[in-house]
């Protein structure tokens, strides 16, 4: 996104994306790749899918 948007806000936006987009966005930056690949993010994302 932008350096002007706090990373915490970027995380909240990323959490709402579809899996296909997440896979593509892993190549945006090292920070995004680390976030999307982290076990905490995956757990939260999977929990969010189950609640839908």
DSSP letters for 1-52: --TTS-HHHHHHHHTTS-HHHHHHHTTT-HHHHHHHHSHHHHHHHHHHHHH-
pLDDT digits (tens, 9 = 90+) for 1-52: 457 889 889 888 888 899 999 999 999 999 899 999 999 999 888 877 677 6
Q: What is the predicted pLDDT for the residue at 52?
A: 60
Which pLDDT score, from 0 to 100, does residue 34 have? Answer: 94
């Amino acid at each position: 996104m932008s350096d002007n948007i706090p990373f915490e806000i970027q995380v909240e936006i990323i959490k709402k994306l579809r899996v296909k987009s997440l896979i593509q966005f892993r190549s945006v930056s090292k920070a995004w790749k680390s976030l999307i690949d982290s076990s905490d993010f995956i757990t939260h994302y999977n929990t969010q899918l189950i609640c839908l």
